[in-house]
Chains A and B, each alone.
Chain A
Amino acid sequence: MPKYTFRVNGRAVSADSWDPAQPLLYVLRNSLGLHAVKFGCGLGQCGACTVIIDGRAARSCSTPVSQVAGRSVTTLEGLGTPEKPDKLQAAFITEQAAQCGYCTNGMIMSAKALLTRTPNPTSEQVKQGLGGNLCRCGTYTRILSAVLRAGKA
């Protein structure tokens, strides 16, 4: 079975995949046990599966594992822990910016990439920057506050 080697959260990993077209999402969740990343649509429309690949937000549901070989992937688990959340996660906790929490992975990862590009964004920049991430519970205003808070921290 072909093997793909890349970095995840700073560690070198290698994963087998019988299909080079297998989306990174399934490899992360099922081969590497990283469950923060979520399947939402498989179509790149909702953002629940967002990870960061080489510094840029990417949809893991539509990124073939073969394209990730040699690259560096960051998932939500790579930011912080419940005991030691990073500043963006901490801002989400302070603002209680979640309801069901299914979109939370994608919101935080997209915001992480946004803050890397634009460290202290305006409201409008956050709204546009997270424009591809859907939240069905309607926690958008809290997510906005959390990202603005993290930008100022």
Chain B
Amino acid sequence: MNRRDFLRTSSVVVVSFAFDGVMPETAAPQTTNPGKPIDPREVDSFLAIHADGAVTIYTSKVDVGTGLNIAMAQMVAEELGIPVDRISVVEGDTALTPDQGGTGGSTGITRGGVELRQAAATARQALLKLGVNADMTNVGAIAGGKRLDLKVDPKAPLKNPSSYTVVGKPVLRPEVRKKCTGTTVFVQDFSVAGMLHGRVIRPPSIGAKLISVDEASIRSIPDARIVRIQNFLGIVANDEWAAVRAAKSLKTTWSESQTLPGSDMLDRHVRASAVERDETLVNRGDPAAALAVTAKQLSATYWWPFQSHASLGPSCATVDFRPEGTTIWSASQGPHGLRANFARVFGIAEDKLRVIFLDGSGSYGSNGNDDAAADALLLSRAVGKPVRVQWMREDEHGWDPKGPPQLLEIRGGLDAENRIAAWDTQMWLPGNVQGSRPLLAADDAGIPQPHGRGAGQISQNGDPPYAAPNVRVVVHWLKDTPLRLSNLRAPGKIANVFAVESFTDELAAAAAIDPVEFRLRGLTDPRAVDVIKRATEMIGWEARPSPNSRPQQGNLRVGRGMAYVRYKQMENYVAMAMDVAVDRSTGKVNVRRITCAHDCGLVINPDGLRNQIEGCILQTLGRTLHEETTFDRSRVTSVDWKSYPILSFPEVPTVEVALIDRPMLPPMGAGEAATAPVAAALANAVFDATGMRLRRVPLKL
């Protein structure tokens, strides 16, 4: 499944890199297309058949620990009719893989896998015509090493899911064996001959200007060399520890400024921020008029802070800058996007720039990977050698682009039958700015670049998924926001569902109706009903209104809560229930058990899917209980695991997942959807246990 296997088996492409080892110093990097087609309209761009009957698949969608590779291999194996263990994957190499877009928004399967499947179906038809037998045993002899030279046929017939033998099976991810034996080459582990280690000294505060550098302060450190380009300050050294020590020891003076509002009262700052424009996302009926005449009215404000991707391994990249062609090894989720942006910003022709994906620490969107690559590029260009940069912990926590702060105010009213009569959501969200996100290194070095801003589709799921005749959802897009942003897993949806599903629970409590019953009364979609019933049955849901009238259990107060989402209003159906115990004397929330029912259409690999869902749940539990990027007037102050804690092992509850497979429906991605109900289910359970409604994350009693 790795590139070495690929090199061994490929008869189509000759590549001069020894990916797992050291590149010969004399070898020129191959940045231009080495002859393999990459046009996404061509079957040969996606598939190469080898003489031994093995198949390599090519995709720009990268597996960042999600199990995407094996799922794609299963989809291709199924459609082509060859065993899944004969398939290897080449991912995220701008010279070899067709551009299917970056990896995000849960599109790995829905676009990446589906396009590969169609290419495989097209290939199968052609192979059968060439005389390959139906079970493909002679595919290598007939088609090995040859191009098929045909366009992907969008109408090529697909197998009937009822005859699937590979899709739907819990095939093991081959890379897990390598990860558990220390044999995976992460981008952090990759090296090329002549490579130097680099570290960057980031400004002590955002926007600080470098006044002076005391070169003598690191004279005792062997071979450490300073690179300064305006306010960009880096160290390169043969020895990694020398680079680390030098970066730490170098004495510098900076002019600092106080440009940030501070995170203490950030919700008030956001509420008072200048609005660029209002956008009405939903406008049905007349909520204002309906609210005025409803039997019961409620309003509430919910807050979600800036959060970090908080990758366990700090971002890393190796760049070999050469005038004849530059190579970037990166764990970026968007190798093609990275290439296009770097070409523009650093003035390199795209065909002289190759980006090669390597496994990295989980990134959950765009962490610091692109910035680390920009750091390495500037250093490599300055010293004329390949440079590897790995960020330090404080760089990752301090400087990764963040998930956005979100403020939501919701008003709602119940009619005389305790049904939702009116609903009004107002959101205050950072507005988009056209263009790419600025690279730290380029800004520091005074290189002109776009200063775009975006954090993904952060305004989705702001409306209730339940029957309501009068609904309005308005976004107040803000002109500015204090920190750089990027996509962070399930962008915006976690906070929006936290608000919407907490408020739904508040309405149910106001109506003194069981929260499950209240929701089911407003749902007709059987897939929605199924997941809610399943998740709550699994936890042994006790039907009664919240809060719990008898929560006492020793010193603890216990309760249960649930939440539901139709992800992005049109994708997965997910329901989640939780049992919690709250210690009122310490305020500690102990999550005991979580059940989740998940319907993402056709299931490709049930074990990989479960792994993703479990991860979605546990990661978001940490985001809800602990995580907040804090900053003062000058700098981010949550720069390690003490000041920015995530979920720890002792806090881990029992997690039970039920998959609802819909083989006749299209497959949906699952890297995000199960994150969305977590915060609301937890806050609803805490309310049930304590009667206290927590509307701010991280949840504090």
Binding site for B on A (CB under 8 A): 17-19, 22-23, 26, 29-30, 34-43, 45-46, 48, 75-77, 79-82, 85, 89, 92-93, 96-105, 108, 126-128, 130-131, 133-144
Contacts and interface: CB of A to CB of B under 8 A. Distances in A.
B360 A100 contact: yes
Contacts of B611: 96, 99, 139, 142
A99 B312 contact: no
A76 B182 contact: yes
Interface string B170-188: 0011011111111111101
A98 B179 contact: yes
A53 B567 CA distance: 47
Given A23-B241, A30-B239, A127-B652, A40 B179 contact: no
Contacts of B239: 18, 26, 30
B64 interface: yes
A137 B241 contact: no
Contact of B649 (A77, A85, A99, A140): A140
Contacts of B622: 138
Contacts of A101: 65, 175-176, 179-180, 184, 186, 359
B648 A134 contact: yes
B646 interface: yes
Contacts of A144: 649, 652
A22 B179 contact: no
Contacts of B607: 96
Nearest to A146: B180
19 contacts: A26-B239, A26-B240, A36-B181, A38-B188, A45-B641, A76-B181, A81-B183, A93-B176, A97-B180, A98-B179, A100-B65, A100-B360, A101-B359, A102-B312, A108-B180, A139-B611, A139-B618, A140-B647, A142-B614
Given A18-B239, A138-B647, A36 B640 contact: no
A81 B364 CA distance: 29
Enumerate the 7 nearest inter-chain pairs by beta-carbon distance, A residue then B residue, closest first.
Answer: A36-B182, A138-B618, A101-B179, A100-B65, A100-B362, A99-B65, A138-B615
A136 B182 contact: no
Contact of B392 (A42, A80, A100): A42
B361 interface: yes
Given A98-B180, A99-B615, A131 B648 contact: yes
Contacts of B392: 42
A41 B189 CA distance: 16
A105 B647 CA distance: 19
A99 B183 contact: no
A23 B240 CA distance: 11
B550 interface: no
Nearest to B245: A19
Interface of B: 64-67, 172-173, 175-186, 188-189, 222, 239-242, 244-245, 310-314, 359-362, 364, 390, 392-393, 607-608, 611-612, 614-619, 621-622, 640-642, 646-650, 652, 654-655
Nearest to A31: B239
Residue in B176, B182, B650 whose Cβ sees the most chain A Cβ within 10 Å: B182
A89 B181 contact: yes
B595 to A, nearest CB: 13
Given A99-B65, A100-B359, A46 B641 contact: yes
A76 B314 CA distance: 20
A109 to B, nearest CB: 10
B307 to A, nearest CB: 12
A22 B246 CA distance: 12
A41 B640 contact: yes
A139 B241 contact: no
A40 B312 contact: yes
Nearest to A88: B180
**Which applies to chain A's interface (DSSP): helix, strand, loop or mixed?**
loop
A115 to B, nearest CB: 15
Contacts of B182: 34-37, 75-77, 105
Contacts, number: 182
A142 B612 CA distance: 11
A97 to B, nearest CB: 8
Contact of B614 (A40, A79, A141): A141
Nearest to A34: B182
Contacts of B359: 100-101
A103 B608 CA distance: 18
B175 A128 contact: no
B313 A134 contact: no
B174 to A, nearest CB: 9
B393 A43 contact: yes
Contacts of A139: 611, 614-615, 618
A102 B172 contact: no
Contacts of A35: 182, 185-186, 188-189
B362 to A, nearest CB: 4
Given A127-B650, A128-B650, A131-B648, A102 B313 contact: yes
A89 B180 CA distance: 6
B648 to A, nearest CB: 6
Contacts of B312: 40, 46, 48, 100, 102-103, 134-136
Contacts of A81: 181, 183
Given A40-B313, A96-B172, A104 B648 contact: no
B313 A45 contact: no
Contact of A85 (B172, B181, B648): B181
A152 B649 CA distance: 20
A66 to B, nearest CB: 13
Nearest to A139: B615
A72 to B, nearest CB: 18
A102 B66 contact: no
A39 B181 contact: no
Given A127-B652, A134-B312, A140 B186 contact: no
Contacts of B241: 17, 19, 22-23, 26, 30
Contacts of B177: 82, 85, 93
Contacts of A126: 649
Contacts of B641: 41, 43, 45-46, 134
Nearest to A46: B641
B65 A137 contact: yes
Contacts of B647: 138, 140
Contact of B619 (A23, A42, A79, A136): A136
Given A39-B314, A143-B649, 19 more contacts: A17-B241, A19-B245, A22-B241, A30-B240, A38-B186, A38-B188, A42-B244, A43-B641, A45-B393, A76-B181, A79-B181, A96-B607, A98-B179, A99-B615, A108-B180, A133-B649, A134-B646, A136-B311, A139-B615
Contact of A136 (B185, B189, B310): B310
Given A19-B245, A35-B182, A102-B312, A137 B172 contact: no
A40 to B, nearest CB: 5
B175 to A, nearest CB: 7
A90 B179 CA distance: 12
B313 A82 contact: no
B539 to A, nearest CB: 16
A98 B176 contact: yes
B309 to A, nearest CB: 8
A70 to B, nearest CB: 21
A48 B182 CA distance: 12
Contacts of B64: 100
